[in-house]
Amino acid sequence: MRSTIIFCTLLLGFMQGYAQQVLTLDQAIDLALKNNYDIRLAQNDAAIYANDYAYANMAFVPRVNATAGRTWSHTRTKQEFANGNKRDTSGIKSNNYTGNVNLNWTLFDGLRMFTSRERLESLRDLGGLALRDQMINTIADIINGYYDIVQQKQQLRNLSEQMSISEERVKLSDAKFQTGLGPKTDLLQSRVDYNAQKAAYLRQQTVISQRKAALNQLMVVAVANTTYEVEDSIPINLELVYGNLQQEIMRNNAALKVAQQNLFISQIDLKTAKGAYFPVVSFNSAYNFSRVNSNAATNSFSPIFNQNGVFNYGFTATIPIFNGLDVKRQVKNAKLNVEYQKLWLENAQTRVSLSIDSTFKNYEYYKQSVTLEEENIGLARENAMVALERFRQGVSTTLEVKLAQQSLQDAFNRLILARYNTKLAETELLRLKGELLKQ
């Protein structure tokens, strides 16, 4: 009877799973890498840095500006002199054309042109590192979220098996009660336990739906779309070695590379600030043009047409003498920022080192727990079957069956959690190593 019930339950679950689309982990990761908001924001920042770097060499080229204008004027002048003479120059019209082209070429500015280009290059690299770090973190979140659904699904199967045993308990208790071989309290308790497991089963289905919605948010798909299925098992890597991991993580960790890049940028900013102590030497050139047309002259010495074109060039040097100690302030702030970034890097290194040690200990513990709990499952399942058979034969009580059943359920829970926690530790170690993102 029990085998028939379990087979029907598994067959029904298989048919339901077959009717639903199975979302693989790789598909979930691909969706997240394309759609995740945090990744898209990081991509936008990286694109801005890359765009700025595309114009980095423009600091070395001259600046050329041009202006042009035209002015119309109408003159109306009436004059009376002391000798009685009068002059009326009303109706004089003129138009004035002006234009100039200016070139300014900075030849030396304390090497700040070079540090500016170097900073833009470093910011471009920082954008790429930050994007990679965000992608790795998102992949880790996807893996953890995906296998959380898998372990919740396994918990659901565990509850389904417990319901099968409880249903068998109800039938046996009812048969014994009807024949007078068992008390009604056994029947009532069996039904209470069965109904409690049915409620837990319904609750577990809700939990799975909620976990799928959380995964959907990471993949940026419709949160309400939870009809898909996930894989049935949690594969774990049992071959990770502490020594190799520690060396590779300290060398390749994405967060450490971001901190190192920020330190490098702060050192460039210090060079830029010190550049303000030096003079700025520039080459300047200009061409100025003007032309005036008038229909009459205001006096005999005024031209009715005047045109000028002037070309000049030369060098200028701006020498800083005193600017309220502003440069000194900027240099001091830049030095403090360098020290800050050094402390940040050291702190990040200690945090990563601690995370490696703590996570690997969890990994070793849960890896051993998996082996132990796999052995316990076999023992607990055999114990539950023996207790159920003893109850069927009337040589044990329903309490014995309930305790054996609870032991089997607890063993299942511990094994499922041990596998999931091993996967979490494995994923965290690979995240620290930067190995989750394929090159």
Tens digit of each residue's pLDDT (9 = 90 or more) over 188-219: 888 998 999 999 999 999 999 999 999 999 99
pLDDT of residue 12: 42
Do the bridges between strand 78-80 and strand 63-75 make them parallel or antiparallel, or are there none, so unpaired? unpaired
Is the pLDDT score of 1 beyond 50? no
Instruction: Record the pTM.
Output: 0.83
Half-sphere exposure of residue 410: CA atoms within 13 angstroms, side-chain side:
10
Report whether 102 contacts 286 (CB < 8 A).
yes
Cα separation, 339 vs 230, whole angstroms:
49
Cα separation, 135 vs 413, whole angstroms:
32
pLDDT of residue 323: 84
Q: How confident is the model at residue 20 (pLDDT cuts 50, 70, 90)?
A: low
**pLDDT > 90 fraction of the chain, expressed in percent and rounded:** 63
Average pLDDT over residues 361-388: 91
Q: Which residue has the higher pLDDT, 395 or 353?
A: 353
Based on its alpha-carbon atoms, the radius of gyration of the chain, rounded to whole angstroms, reads: 41
pLDDT of residue 389: 87
Average pLDDT over residues 50-65: 92
Average pLDDT over residues 29-56: 93
Task: Spell out where 192-328 has E strands.
Answer: 280-294, 305-318
Q: How confident is the model at residue 6 (pLDDT cuts 50, 70, 90)?
A: very low
Average pLDDT over residues 143-162: 94
pLDDT of residue 300: 58
Report whether 162 contacts 194 (CB < 8 A).
no
pLDDT of residue 78: 78
Is the pLDDT score of 358 beyond 70? yes
Give the CATH architecture of domain 2-35+109-278+321-433: Up-down Bundle (1.20)
Give the mean pLDDT of the chain. 88
Q: Which residue has the higher pLDDT, 186 or 331?
A: 331
pLDDT of residue 19: 46
Average pLDDT over residues 164-193: 86
Is the pLDDT score of 17 beyond 70? no
What are the domain boundaries of the chain?
2-35+109-278+321-433
Q: How confident is the model at residue 85 (pLDDT cuts 50, 70, 90)?
A: confident
Q: What are the two backbone dihedrals, phi and then psi, of residue 292, each rounded to the nearest 5 degrees?
A: -120, 125
Is the pLDDT score of 79 beyond 70? yes
pLDDT digits (tens, 9 = 90+) for 281-307: 999 999 999 998 877 666 655 677 788
Residues whose CB is less than 8 angstroms from the CB of residue 52 and which lie 6 or more positions away in sequence, other chains included: 120, 123, 124
Average pLDDT over residues 141-147: 96
DSSP 8-state symbol, 109? S
Please list the helix, strand and coil fractions of the chain in percent, rounded to the nearest 5, in that order: 65, 15, 20
Average pLDDT over residues 95-99: 91
